[in-house]
Amino acid sequence: MTATAPRGTGAVTPGRGDGGPPPRRAWIAARTLRTDRWWLQPLLTAVALVLFIIYATFRAFQNAYYFSEPYISPFYSPCITTACEGDTFPELFTGPTWISPALYILVFPLGIRLTCYYYRKAYYRSFWLSPPACAVAEPHRRYTGETRLPLLGQNIHRYALYAALVINVILFYDAVLAFRDETGEWGHMGLGTLILLVNAVLLFLYSLSCHSCRHIVGGRINNFSKHPLRYKAWGLVSRLNGRHMQFAWASLFTVAFADFYVFLLATGTISDFRFF
Q: What pLDDT band is residue 13 in, cutting at 50, 70 and 90?
A: very low
Q: Is the pLDDT of residue 9 over 60?
A: no
Spatial CA neighbour of 166 closest among 78, 63, 276, 91: 78
pLDDT on residue 4: 46
pLDDT at 256: 98
Q: Does pLDDT of 261 surpass 60?
A: yes
Q: Are 190 and 178 in contact (CB under 8 A)?
A: yes
For the chain, the average pLDDT equals 87
Residue 241 to residues 5, 162, 256: CA-CA distances in angstroms? 37, 17, 23
Single pTM value for the model? 0.83
Q: How far apart are CA 122 and CA 210, in angstroms?
A: 15
Q: What pLDDT score does 138 carry?
A: 78
Cis peptide before 131 (omega within 30 of 0): yes
HSE-CB at 162 with a 13 A cutoff on CA atoms is 4
> What tens digit of pLDDT does each residue of 124-156 get?
899 988 888 888 877 777 777 777 777 888 888
pLDDT band, very low/low/confident/very high, at 237 (cuts 50, 70, 90): very high
- The pLDDT assigned to 8 comes to 43
Q: What tens digit of pLDDT does each residue of 190-224 get? A: 999 999 999 999 999 999 999 999 999 998 888 88
Q: What percent of the chain has pLDDT over 90?
A: 61
Q: How far apart are CA 145 and CA 191, in angstroms?
A: 45
- Model confidence over 14-53: pLDDT tens digits? 444 454 454 555 666 667 778 889 899 999 999 999 999 9
Q: Do 102 and 65 meet the contact criterion of CB atoms below 8 Å apart?
A: no
Omega into 228 within 30° of 0, i.e. cis? no
Is the link from the previous residue into 150 a cis peptide, with omega within 30 of 0? yes
pLDDT at 187 over 50: yes
CB-CB neighbours of 147 under 10 Å = 7
- Which of 107 and 29 is assigned the larger pLDDT? 107
Confidence of residue 12 (pLDDT cuts 50, 70, 90): very low
Classify the C-alpha dihedral 152-153-159-164 as positive or negative.
negative
Alpha helices, DSSP H, located in 127-267: 157-177, 191-208, 211-218, 228-241, 244-266
More confident residue, 143 or 77: 77
- From the list 257, 240, 271, the residue with the least C-alpha distance to 118 is 240
Position 27 scores a pLDDT of 63
Mean pLDDT (whole number) for 114-131: 90
Q: What is the pLDDT of residue 25?
A: 57
pLDDT for residue 183? 80
